Amino acid sequence: MHVTGTHFANRTEAGRRLAAHLGHLRGPGTVVVALPRGGVPVAAEVAAELDAPLDICVIRKLGVPYQPELGMGAIGEDGVRVLNDQVMRIAGITDEQLARVERQERAELERRARRYRGGRPPADLRGRDVVVVDDGIATGSTARAACLIVRARGAARVVLAVPVAPRDWTERLYGVADELVCVGTPSPFFAIGEFYSDFSQTGDDEVLRLLAEAHGERTRVPAEVDRELTVPAAGVRLAGRLTVPAGAVGVVVFAHGSGSSRHSPRNRHVAEHLNRSGLATLLFDLLTEAEEPDRRNVFDVGLLGARLTAVAQHLPGHPEVRDLPVGLFGASTGAAAALWTAARLGGAVRAVVSRGGRPDLAGPERLAEVTAPTLLVVGGRDGVVIDLNRQARSRLRCESELAVVPHAGHLFEEPGTLDRVSELARDWFLQYLPDPGPGTTGEPT
């Protein structure tokens, strides 16, 4: 049974209680730096109490390839890498395996950093007291990486502060920070979440809202347009739904698969995430009601691709999205249609994302013609589709990535897996859809 003093209702309460231990740091020279995502709600309370600016330090765990939940280290911004030599030795990790995992996580880290900062420059830490905050310490690898990062960025004094940690955490992190602050160090200690009544995953929306509020910015207003419509495509008229948030920076057209319609709950879930991030979406039915019963139509990539192409070409006819760059999101056989269309339209399509897709059905010639950066997302339990996606990716000549969502099946029905798909898609589209700002090349960094 845990001591009451080391149990928290949620991250907000944990942040308030942690802030009570940091009053000596209140002053104009202090900056609070959070580890996204779970550390942000905690750090927001600390920053508010200390009247200090709030920044982030993006960290990515390096998971053992065959057991991703087991961390063998962590990486952070500015090229910092911290390794757990004991885990690597026991797991028999080779240099090649480490490099492959780090390359994948580094790309994700850079996307997240761009997403969370939203164009804001990192806080100037030179000569400042920096409080690094997370929602708890488990192994300490991510906290160690964060402290090294802020130190490298010129922090005069580094304070690592968390609500809960194992009893031996000071020994694990000795020397990494000038001061270690923790509300409680209970024993036994198995996982951070056991000391929270609500330890649900912190979403990107909450991170963005808290960071915007800390910078005195307004959060995004609701959609300006959300309506049903019909779109002409190759001699038929198809039903669709167009949603355009205020200040949209791009529009994503969804290509459903396996006979799904614009009412597909999984694609609507992803679309809503994209809408909240400033991306317009068009969900429409690739087949008419009369065509849906014939299963041959579901696998007719030429038919589906021709219709998706016609719809994408028709978009400029809608004034709400006339000047917006276009991305495509395909699921199942719709992924093949999306790549078929991307090959056909060339530079008119800025980015493609496939969820549990069959990109191989687009055919080798079409795949080789795709120029839009393409992200292939598959479930870790969907072995056959993983292999098909790897084969299809080998045919692509454009920039591409294969993202495997751990513990997810083909339909991403497992808790949290569809949210992960939404985050990956959102980051990919936000990286490649918006026009580059003045003085930039538009190339990914």
Higher pLDDT, 151 or 221: 151
Residue 255 host element (H or E) = strand 251-255
* List of residues 6+ apart from 185 with CB closer than 8 A: 6, 164, 165, 166, 167, 169
pLDDT tens-digit map of 379-403: 999 999 999 999 999 999 999 999 9
Angle at 135 between CA 132 and CA 141, to 5 degrees: 65
Q: 445: pLDDT confidence band, cut at 50, 70 and 90?
A: very low
Given a contact cutoff of 8 angstroms between Cβ atoms, the answer to whether 183 and 14 are in contact is yes
Helix, strand or coil, per DSSP, at residue 368: helix
User: Position of tokens 């395996």?
Assistant: 97
Rounded mean pLDDT, 12-28: 94
Given a contact cutoff of 8 angstroms between Cβ atoms, the answer to whether 7 and 197 are in contact is yes
pLDDT tens-digit map of 270-329: 998 898 888 999 998 888 777 766 767 777 888 888 899 999 998 887 888 988 999 999
Candidates 352, 355, 332, 353; CA nearest to 344 is 352
User: Position of tokens 């496939």?
Assistant: 354
Q: 140: pLDDT confidence band, cut at 50, 70 and 90?
A: confident
Higher pLDDT, 125 or 295: 125
Given a contact cutoff of 8 angstroms between Cβ atoms, the answer to whether 376 and 349 are in contact is no
Tell which phi-psi region holds residue 65, choosing left (phi > 0), alpha (psi between -120 and 50) or beta.
alpha
For position 61, what pLDDT does the model report?
83
HEC assignment per residue over 14-76: HHHHHHCCCHHHCCCCEEEEECCCCHHHHHHHHHHHHCCCEEECCEEEEEECCEEEEEEEEEE
Given a contact cutoff of 8 angstroms between Cβ atoms, the answer to whether 230 and 262 are in contact is no
With a cut of 60, say whether residue 221 has pLDDT above it. no
* List of residues 6+ apart from 166 with CB closer than 8 A: 137, 138, 172, 185, 187, 189
pLDDT tens-digit map of 160-208: 999 999 999 999 898 999 999 999 999 999 899 999 988 888 877 788 8
pLDDT tens-digit map of 38-48: 999 999 999 99
Task: Look up residue 152 and give its two tokens.
Answer: 């490298």
Helices (H) and strands (E) in the chain, counts: 14, 16
Higher pLDDT, 88 or 318: 88
Rounded mean pLDDT, 424-428: 94
For 80-110, give one letter per residue: b (16+ CB within 10 A) or e: bebbbeebbeebebeeebbeebbebbbbbbb
Instruction: Spell out the alpha helix ranges (H) of 246-324.
Output: 265-276, 295-298, 301-314
The pTM score is 0.53
Q: 444: pLDDT confidence band, cut at 50, 70 and 90?
A: very low
Q: 136: pLDDT confidence band, cut at 50, 70 and 90?
A: very high
For 333-366, give one letter per residue: b (16+ CB within 10 A) or e: bbbbbbbbbbbbbeebbbbbbbbbbbbbbbbeeb
Question: What whole-number distance in Å separates Cα of residue 299 and Cα of residue 334?
Answer: 9
Q: 404: pLDDT confidence band, cut at 50, 70 and 90?
A: very high
User: Position of tokens 């950093």?
Assistant: 113
Higher pLDDT, 239 or 336: 336
CA distances from 424 to 355, 421, 428 (A): 10, 5, 6
For position 153, what pLDDT does the model report?
86
With a cut of 90, say whether residue 129 has pLDDT above it. yes
Q: 443: pLDDT confidence band, cut at 50, 70 and 90?
A: very low
What average pLDDT is seen over the chain?
87
For position 384, what pLDDT does the model report?
93
With a cut of 70, say whether residue 4 has pLDDT above it. no
Rounded mean pLDDT, 223-252: 84
With a cut of 90, say whether residue 338 has pLDDT above it. yes
The dihedral through the CA atoms of 428, 432, 435, 441 has a sign that is positive
Amino acid at 427: D
CA distances from 334 to 301, 344, 355, 360, 364 (A): 8, 15, 9, 11, 16
Q: 53: pLDDT confidence band, cut at 50, 70 and 90?
A: very high
Considering only 100-114, 187-201, 204-218, 421-435, which range has the smallest mean pLDDT? 204-218
Question: What whole-number distance in Å separates Cα of residue 445 and Cα of residue 442?
Answer: 9
Rounded mean pLDDT, 210-231: 73
Q: 81: pLDDT confidence band, cut at 50, 70 and 90?
A: confident
Considering only 38-52, 121-135, 178-192, 234-248, which range has the smallest mean pLDDT? 234-248
Question: What whole-number distance in Å separates Cα of residue 370 and Cα of residue 373?
Answer: 8
For position 204, what pLDDT does the model report?
77
Question: What whole-number distance in Å separates Cα of residue 283 and Cα of residue 186?
Answer: 50
Q: 220: pLDDT confidence band, cut at 50, 70 and 90?
A: very low
Candidates 180, 138, 134, 136; CA nearest to 158 is 180
Q: 258: pLDDT confidence band, cut at 50, 70 and 90?
A: low
For position 249, what pLDDT does the model report?
87
For position 42, what pLDDT does the model report?
97
Instruction: Spell out the alpha helix ranges (H) of 118-258.
Output: 141-152, 169-172, 204-214
Amino acid at 207: V
Higher pLDDT, 444 or 317: 317
User: Position of tokens 């020279």?
Assistant: 29
Residue 369 CA to its chain's centroid (Å): 28
With a cut of 60, say whether residue 156 has pLDDT above it. yes
